[in-house]
Structure 1
Amino acid sequence: MNGDLAEADGANGAFSVGLTISGAARRSTLPDGAPREAEAFLHAWEEEIGDSCQPTSSPAASAEFQVKSRALKMRDVAIINVHGVSAVRSESVPPPFEEQVRMFVIWRGSWTRDGTRDRGDQTLSGGQFILEHSDRKSHFETVPHTTAKLFVLPAATLKPLLGNRIAFGSVDSAEMRLLTAHANMVHKTVGDLSTAGVEAARGSLLELAKAVVMGRFDDVEPRLGPALTQAAKDLVNRHLTNPELSRTMLARELNVSVRTLQRAFAAAGETVASYIRSRRLEEARLALAAPYGQLSVSELAAHWQFADSSHFFRAFKKHYGQSPTEYARSTRAARNRTDFRTGGADAGTSDTHRVDRTSTPGLSRGGLSEA
């Protein structure tokens, strides 16, 4: 068991706490079957995060029990990431406790949570989310290899919009993409944020949660620009080889206007087109440096959706200061010198540069063809 109990920044109002339990550390003499080493962690979790979603394990869990959990709290907002190689469950704690709005986002596996008298137990599969107002404790159970994200949100902010409804849908919806992109950014940067930065991150997250409830993004809210930009970049990175990739496609997928998308990128000193081009050039550069196999420069240009090899040639040289052929030749020469010093095989000196199909993302195996 490994528990990380350090605050991200005690002065900025955010608290981050994590837990990893695996193998022999799971075997314990504590009455409730929890690892003895976890007592300090669980106490810190309850004190700082709250006990509504405190992680525990099934008493029947074996010595092979493995789970990782990381929680972040910003005042009355908590973001909890859970990945269980083993099945995981939380304890059901009786009321009273404060009202909350909770969101369960399931990336992989399945997650069963106990229902109300009106609704039975509910099971969410990978790719689904549910958001609801709750004024009672509940517990959850997962199957092995479940990855999920939980949000604990203040009822005062979201209950007027949600009422007694339950928001349910796909994690691929435009609003959910924005929310999860922002949450991931907060997890990565909270340690570097000032107190004002944490408050801004909290406010943006609540605005994005409202967007999930209402099914639309408030495109005049300036605080949401970074989340929109990150969600767009995530989409770009998944569609680099798609010939339809454009600002229009991204705006459609994120359910915003092209103007709103452009404004968000401009605030970060970028344009949508320049980001797409730079990412495609970067992937092409990595392919040019691949040590094995072959693909011609013109094939590479076509794969990464450049208009033609001449356009690719000019864009690459402008970005990196070398033509694709010059870059490939210099990379190959450097690799050959290293191989010579270490006694490795010669990497080849053919003047016709070709790139590995198997080491380039998205490229299929196949025969060779001339440029």
Structure 2
Amino acid sequence: MLEVLSTRELAPVERLDYWNDLIASTYTGMVVDAPRDRFDARLTVWQMGTLRMVRPYSRAAVISRHAERHTRPTDQALVAHLLTRGSARLEQRGRSVDLVEGDMVLCAAEEFYRFDTKATHEMMVVEFDRRTLAERVPGIDDFVARRISGQLPSTRLAHRYMSSLWQEASETLPGAHWQMHAGILGDIIASCIEGSREVAEAPGHALLSRAEAVIRERIGDAGLTPSAVAMEIGVPLRTLQAAAASAGTTPSALIMRRRLQRAAKRLLSEPGASVTSIALESGFADSAHFARRFQQHFGATPSHYRRMN
């Protein structure tokens, strides 16, 4: 069954209070903090067999959930969050992890956690009984509040599979069929977690982190190339390419992804800035190339993306 909840029909000043009442009745201990006059949110809930999938959307907000002290760790639900729009910072178990579009993170549902989003964001969320993932992934608790890169092939596959399931959510199928898909989704999420383990243990992981730091620092430089990144961190280009390949990506893709994410963030946070100026300041040589790559990545032109959000 598919259920859609939204603040869109309410006056802006009423939306945040309505949303907090609604969320608290569904998720014990959850609170949303946001600018009262600009808040807007939508929540789509789908019960797929024994698995619940949720698709939350909102403008900039801080979402926190207090711990349920009576719940034993072995009884906890584990919740996979796949960020499909925007960026966010998660805090849980003393860890802080920054997420960008395409990344996934696993949370312990009954423990305190906090998502801080600076702009409009959307996620696909699926809640698992802890045993479902623990049986598939040894040491599952080691992966709670750890970033699972959206560049991993398994994470990209999870994104496509979950999106396909949502497109069929309104269709009538026997419950046993949806339950089979729930099992497949559990296997795919487990493969994402295991894939992140392999990346974390790979010799090139630290090297890739250094490369991403250089890219973030020089993202506005149109002359930034994989060779320039490799030179700055002091390794041959082939070494950087091998480290990126171990994470299922390339140095060029890392640079392009970061440019597009920066541009998308500025399109929303600076509504008065022109698309051309944002393109140039995000490291694109011209606005036409930027528009093509942006539409390929986000499925909308920069101007349309800004209007939608």
TM-score interval, smaller chain: 0.5 to 0.7
Letter in 1 for 2:17: A
Q: Which amino acid in structure 2 is aligned with residue 17 of structure 1?
A: E
The separation in 1 between residues aligned to 2:116 and 2:157, in whole angstroms, is 27
Aligned partners of 2:64 and 2:114 also within 8 Å: yes
Say if 2:38 is the partner of 1:64.
Answer: yes
Distance 1:195 1:112, change over 3 A: same
The amino acid that maps onto 1:199 is Q
User: What is the CA distance between 1:133 and its match in structure 2?
Assistant: 5.0
Q: 1:151 to 1:52 in 2, by over 3 A?
A: farther
| Partner Cα distance (1:84, 1:194) in 2 | 32
**Structure 1 match to 2:160:** 181
* Residues 22 and 64 in structure 1, CA contact (< 8 A), matched pair in contact too: no
Amino acid at match of 2:115: F
Looking at structure 1, the residues matched to 151 and 29 of structure 2 have their Cα atoms a distance apart, in angstroms, of 24
Q: Check if 1:122 corresponds to 2:97.
A: yes
Matched, 1:25 2:11: yes
Q: Which runs of 5+ in 2 are unaligned?
A: 197-244, 249-290, 297-309
User: Which string of whole-angstrom CA distances, capped at 9 and with x for unpartnered residues, describes residues 24-79 of structure 1?
Assistant: 534349xxx6128x85x558x72xxxx1696x532x53222112221223354332
Query: Which residue pairs with 2:76 in the alignment?
Result: 99
**Contact residue 96 and residue 136 of structure 1 kept, 8 A:** no
User: Structure 1 pair 134/65, CA: closer, same or farther in 2 (3 Å)?
Assistant: closer
TM-score (norm 1): 0.44
Q: In 1, distance between residues paired with 2:101 and 2:48?
A: 27
User: How far is 1:158 from its partner?
Assistant: 1.0
User: Hey, which of these two has a bigger chunk of helix by percent?
Assistant: 2
Q: Which residue type is aligned with residue 25 of structure 1?
A: A
Deviation, structure 1 residue 206: 0.9
- 8 A contact 2:148–2:193 mirrored in 1: no
The answer (yes or no) to whether the contact 2:99–2:147 under 8 Å persists in 1 is: no
1:113 aligns with 2:90: yes
Q: How does 1:69-88 map to 2 (within 5 A)?
A: 69-88=43-62
CA-CA distance at 1:100 after TM superposition: 1.8
The answer to whether the 8 A contact 1:88-1:144 is kept is: no
Preserved CA contact (<8 Å) 2:83 2:123: yes
Question: For this pair of structures, how many residues does the alignment match?
Answer: 196
Higher RCO (CA 8 Å, separation ≥ 6 residues): 2
TM-score if structure 2 supplies the norm length?
Answer: 0.52
Where does residue 148 of structure 2 map in the other structure? 169
Q: RMSD of aligned C-alpha atoms?
A: 3.7
Question: Is the contact between residue 52 and residue 93 of structure 1 (CA under 8 Å) also seen in structure 2?
Answer: no
Preserved contact between residue 87 and residue 117 of structure 2 (Cα < 8 Å): yes
Of the structure 1 ranges 153-162 and 202-211, higher mean CA displacement relative to structure 2 is found in 153-162
Larger Rg: 1
- 1:67-107 deviations in whole A, cap 9, x for unaligned? 22212233543322222223242442533344122222223
- The match for 1:131 among 76, 93, 106 is 106
Question: CA separation in 1, counterparts of 2:112 and 2:104?
Answer: 19
Q: Is the 8 A contact 1:93 1:137 kept in 2?
A: yes
Aligned to 2:17: 34
Paired residues of 2:151 and 2:247 also in contact (CA < 8 A): no
